[in-house]
Chain A
């Protein structure tokens, strides 16, 4: 591991994983595999507990702001663990000079999203630091929710088997491109709006009718590639993905071509990957298609017994290649 922390350690890719596993997990003696929420059993009750910090720049972007992001992100981390989210905490680190008007907007969005997701913000903290000691505003949210019996193995993927189908609930990359487009120094503007939203109602509508959801992850930092990599490592099986079936909208696809990004690596804030048992994936797709947040859901691949631990991408060109976890901060091509 390198001697100093670099931006690469925060990218959700390989270096981020190494930092977490080799430093924090070791020091804290945390159990593995690492999941989006800790799944805890106390006095006969199973609950999920999670925390996440938000440092997005700019604070306001098409489709949301840091507050909406912080609320939805934590709701989603609980939801993909199979939990029904209940309670949220919110901590604010604010740079002196920050406009109260903006803080009101941000807190307003959080309250609105909490209402929609039917969760309660029940505790929090505020710190103000001198100018220059933090970039405008950072938010940390934690959350807890309850897991119904039978859904405990979803976060660890223990039930994944060859033949399982891989589903995503819609087009990839919107959040990353919307945020990038909102940065002042970028010389492009686009119609792309962040997909930032709480997925708990959609996920619950699947879980209430199906019992073959074998694994779920939200496709945040590192995007689809990072989650597929995690899935391959966690399950030990191979994964085949058909590039042509992965939904990406044209404006995102076009900007990726121009900037040299791979939409598979881009962050989303309202997308989930579901690994579904082969006998139930059609039913799951039907439920998703009938939900407003899942209309563009697609079957994108399957778990196989071949190429164990690897992801094989059937490129839309007809060729085949390995899909690797993104490494470092995605950088634009220069030539």
Chain B
């Protein structure tokens, strides 16, 4: 298949793998902060192509995995109200809240529907005017512009029964938090889709402030291996920088139209992250001009604070401190069909990827 197979060329892949093996001079710990990367790394068997000196650590890049329990609890609380339809992307319905999940509530009869895009949620609101349709907006700079367009369209069309519950987040503050936390890494494999929207410049603070290497990577096996090689070279030559490997999609300035859509509808806010707690200016909420579409403002709900399963180490995994194998629940109490932590739910979660692709 054109534009895919070229990047999966076995000869090129083995050559890159060989280059990496010849280039290593020490141990290297690299963190990927995109769930798409975590999934691709395991799907293509990338660890089996790397020398033992290189460890890839999965960071907080899967939007489902970093979604805090209180967001799920809130969505469940909304789903219990009369004439409310919850509309969500698929993975989110299985994420455990403090005592239930959207999937369980759906089975009990709550009106919870899965869509592939925000605009599909709008169509539901249009065709069922008696329902209050609440769209669960999750994801990073990649998916947030889509939600922004959805909310703008709702306003333009005067839809009064469409609301957004936003858990949208932005990437740089959590990367900053990881480094400040003292987690030992030598460089970041930076998220290619996020950077397609934002431009590469949002990562400049990492080499400037912390002397950390950054390579913005694509999602094919040659992309990932080339990115690892570029990071190894940055470290070997002690020249940390933000390099763009995924140059077929990413530019220094990014997609300005998407950025404008985003900033017209959203503004930064503090946000709760599973595993990290509250991180300042790491979330996106609707601007006051769009308050009429903000579920939390239109229909406030109160939820109780709960503690999660104390044995679950999703937080440490998301912060790159531990691997799924280190968890006492992994493969035992926590499996993809019975997830205890959010990292086991999404195909992009570190625990789910480990479960599926490792013996």
Contact = CB atoms under 8 A, between A and B. Distances in A.
Contacts of A185: 115-116, 120
A124 interface: no
A287 to B, nearest CB: 30
A324 B14 CA distance: 25
B115 A334 contact: no
A260 interface: yes
A5 B1 CA distance: 39
B221 A317 contact: yes
Interface stretch (A70-78, A201-209, A250-258): A250-258
A334 B64 contact: yes
Nearest to B39: A333
A335 interface: yes
B36 interface: yes
A328 B336 contact: yes
Contact of B10 (A313, A318, A324, A335): A318
Contacts of A14: 337
Given A6-B103, A318-B49, A324-B357, A331 B116 contact: no
A335 B193 contact: yes
Interface stretch (B87-95, B247-255, B300-308): B87-95
Interface residues of A, number: 37
A318 B35 CA distance: 22
B237 interface: no
A213 to B, nearest CB: 30
Interface in B265-294: none
Interface string B218-241: 000100000000000000000000
B359 to A, nearest CB: 5
A319 B49 contact: yes
A15 B339 CA distance: 13
A327 B337 contact: yes
B8 A324 contact: no
Counting contact residues on chain B (CB < 8 A from A), the size range is 35 or more
Interface in B143-159: 143
Contacts of A317: 8, 10, 13, 44-46, 49, 221
Interface stretch (B134-142, B182-190, B205-213, B318-326): B134-142
A22 interface: no
A320 interface: yes
A322 interface: yes
Contacts of A2: 338
A192 to B, nearest CB: 14
Contact of B63 (A15, A254, A316, A334): A334
Interface in B37-64: 39, 42-49, 62-64
From A257, A317, A333, A334, residue with most partner B Cβ within 10 Å: A317
Interface in A306-335: 307, 310, 313, 315-322, 324, 327-328, 331-335
A319 B44 contact: yes
B133 to A, nearest CB: 14
5 contacts: A5-B107, A318-B17, A328-B94, A334-B139, A335-B35
Interface of A: 2, 4-6, 8, 13-15, 185-187, 244, 250, 253-254, 257, 259-260, 307, 310, 313, 315-322, 324, 327-328, 331-335
Given A250-B1, A333-B348, 12 more contacts: A6-B107, A185-B115, A186-B116, A187-B119, A254-B1, A315-B45, A318-B10, A321-B48, A331-B91, A333-B347, A335-B140, A335-B142
